[in-house]
Amino acid sequence: MADLLSTGVSGLLASQVGLSTVGHNISNVNTAGYTRQTTTFNARAPQYNGGYYVGQGADAISVQRAYSQFLTQSVWSASSGQSRASQYATLTASVNNAVSGSANLQTALDGFFGSVSDVANAPIDTASRQAMIGKANTLVATFKSLSSQFQQLDQQTNQQISAAVDSINSLAKSIADLNGQIQKGYAGGAVPNDLLDARDQAVSQLSQIVGVNVTQTSDHMYTVSVGNGQPLVNGTNATQLSTANNQYDSSRLEVVGPGGSVISSQLGSGSLGATFDFRTNVLDPARNQLGRAAIAMTDAFNKQSAQGIDLNGAAGGDFFNIADPAVFNSTANKGTGSVTATVADVSKLDASDYVMRFDGTNWSATTTAGVTVPMTGTGTAADPFVVGGLNVTVGAGAVAGDSFQIQPTRNAASTMSVAVSDTSKIAASGPLAATKGASNTGKGVLGNLTVTDVTNPAFNTPATITFTSPTTYSINGGAPQTYADGDTITGPGWTLKLTGSPAANDTFSVKPAGSASGDNGNALAMANVATKGVLDNGVTTVGKAYSQLIAQVGTAGAQANTALTAQQSILDQATASQQGLSGVNMDEEAANLLRFQQSYAAAAQVINTANTIFNSLLTAVQG
């Protein structure tokens, strides 16, 4: 009965392995990355016994994962896409929150221009003037607040980039270590299932940070590359990535591979790729658009202020201050050349950043995206390069290969300030004032005095309009001209509208406005800056520029949310397919547990039966 005993023992041992496997599955039902394991059984070779074969039981020959490399890699790919979409949507939402938050620029613009209109209604009222300065400071504070929020987001992207690189390096080392352990496991003659799961889980976590490409070698080790083919893991060796300051702007980080090569643009999918894409496609354009609006506001308002007269009789000065475009030299430059830039034509200023390059003979300009930009001039102070509304001057000393980055608008809003603190310095008065002669006897009434050309050589020459009859007049004794009720009288660089019927010898005068003038001509013009086309060749107002900012960020947010919904669906489908094969099903495991429990008990009964028969034989022999 030794054969029967051996058969029963084999069944007992096989069922025990099955029970252990089921127990392992049940214990790891909540373990991330765990793959369901199954036990494979084989019948032992039968024993020939006089014309027939008698079976000798069963053996558990392997414990295998319910695993599909195709389905697993599909999950990695989908996870990478979903993580990218999620990160992009989250970061874009933060920009949306900034532009739609309490620091609403449109409200500040409306408040400021409303205060300018109040000054126009009461040109010499100190309270109105003080309110205008207060509203100007509020406007500047709003520009700066939004700029500060964008800068904080930029710093947060740096922190996320640094943290992501640390995680990539840690996971790469873990995968390389697991490669070594798995190789040793296979060398021992068994499949190290749990180590394989641990490695796949590490790759899954890596795929959420950056897109991965995984191949398996003949010795069961993974070779992993990221992005557009950057090697990361080769056998038991892991490449370490690092971060470095951007070659132009030291305030932002880039990812570099071995040898210091910048690979930021090659990272593709995953949360890290999304962070760089967000910075390039959403954050930078938003910062540039905000700065463009600040420059447009400053330029348009200052130009109009310069056409007026303040309460002291002096020509109006700048009402706002703002910094010139920022220029950064590349850390790779070998020469000693320099580049400076100023805004020459706001109407041609767009939201691009530029790179100026020197080939040893000629300079060229492109956007940071690599698009060639038309450029005129020679780069001297007398004949600067004209690039996208900028005047660019280059100093001597550059050598072939040197380059410079120009950020015309990036941080402009953060440098904006109010230049006027003295209420008397507000140039509310027009440069000219019209008065009616004190001895006039007719019914002529002064209307609007409009400046048409401040560059006219005789613009500031006092003019006296003398009516020789109710229908004729001359200017400073010049040729007689005809007049009818409501006509506009034209002078050197100005026009004056009169109504009514003057009498003979009535006079009207137009002369430069004096100090403490109650004229509101320039205040009205400054208030009209709100509706004046400044940007995009004189089409876009400052307020519309801000609306464009809100629209572009809102559109990016909507697109990001749509992409996230799609990627989440793809991930859910891939995960469901993979888990359908590899996931632990508790109902199935409960059934298997009962099955192996019963087979174990039955095998034990076979052993007991063999023992009973054997004891009966011994008793019979002894008797």
What is the three-state SS of 72-86?
Answer: HHHHHHHHHHHHHHH
pLDDT band at residue 431, thresholds of 50, 70 and 90?
Answer: confident
Same domain, yes or no: 12 and 130:
no
Same domain, yes or no: 137 and 247:
yes
Q: Is 348 exposed, middle or buried (0-12, 13-18, 19+ CB in 10 A)?
A: middle
Same domain, yes or no: 134 and 249:
yes
Question: How far is it, in rounded angstroms, from Cα 84 to Cα 77?
Answer: 11
Taken as a whole, the chain contains a residue count of 623
- Considering the domain boundaries, does residue 411 fall inside one? no
**Average confidence score pLDDT of the chain:** 91
Same domain, yes or no: 485 and 569:
no
- Considering the domain boundaries, does residue 520 fall inside one? no
Say yes or no to pLDDT of 519 above 90: no
φ, ψ of residue 512 to 5 degrees: the values are: -55, 140
pLDDT band at residue 448, thresholds of 50, 70 and 90?
Answer: confident
- Considering the domain boundaries, does residue 313 fall inside one? no
- Considering the domain boundaries, does residue 365 fall inside one? no
Say yes or no to pLDDT of 232 above 50: yes
Question: How far is it, in rounded angstroms, from Cα 215 to Cα 41?
Answer: 31
- Residues paired with residue 364 on neighbouring β-strands, in sequence order: 357
Mean local confidence (pLDDT), 123-148? 95
- Considering the domain boundaries, does residue 175 fall inside one? yes
Same domain, yes or no: 32 and 114:
no
Same domain, yes or no: 494 and 594:
no
Strands (E) located in 336-444: 339-343, 354-358, 363-367, 385-387, 390-394, 403-407, 417-418, 432-436
Report how far apart, in Å, the C-alpha atoms of 354 and of each of 155, 275, 390, 393 are.
22, 22, 11, 14
Mean local confidence (pLDDT), 438-458? 87
Mean local confidence (pLDDT), 503-516? 85
- Considering the domain boundaries, does residue 183 fall inside one? yes
Range of the domain at 607: 2-66+583-622
Same domain, yes or no: 500 and 554:
no
Residue pLDDT, tens place only, 336-394? 999 999 999 999 998 899 999 999 999 999 999 899 999 999 999 999 999 999 999 99
Same domain, yes or no: 137 and 280:
yes
Same domain, yes or no: 31 and 110:
no
Q: Where a domain ends, among 512, 528, 552?
A: 512
Mean local confidence (pLDDT), 160-182? 96
Say yes or no to pLDDT of 246 above 90: yes
Beta strands across the sheet bearing 326-329:
326-329, 403-407, 354-358, 363-367
Angle at 305 (CA atoms; ends 303, 310), nearest 5 degrees: 155
Residue 154, amino acid: D
How many structural domains is the chain composed of? 3
Mean local confidence (pLDDT), 588-611? 90
Mean local confidence (pLDDT), 498-503? 93
Residue pLDDT, tens place only, 308-337? 888 888 888 999 999 999 999 999 999 999
Same domain, yes or no: 498 and 551:
no
Spatial CA neighbour of 175 closest among 209, 218, 204, 211: 204
- Considering the domain boundaries, does residue 114 fall inside one? yes
Same domain, yes or no: 77 and 183:
yes
* pTM of the model as a whole: 0.84
- Considering the domain boundaries, does residue 236 fall inside one? yes
Residue pLDDT, tens place only, 534-589? 998 889 999 899 888 889 999 999 999 999 999 999 999 999 999 999 999 999 99
Strands (E) located in 7-164: 37-43, 47-48, 53-54, 58-65
Above pLDDT 70, what percent of the chain? 98
Same domain, yes or no: 201 and 239:
yes
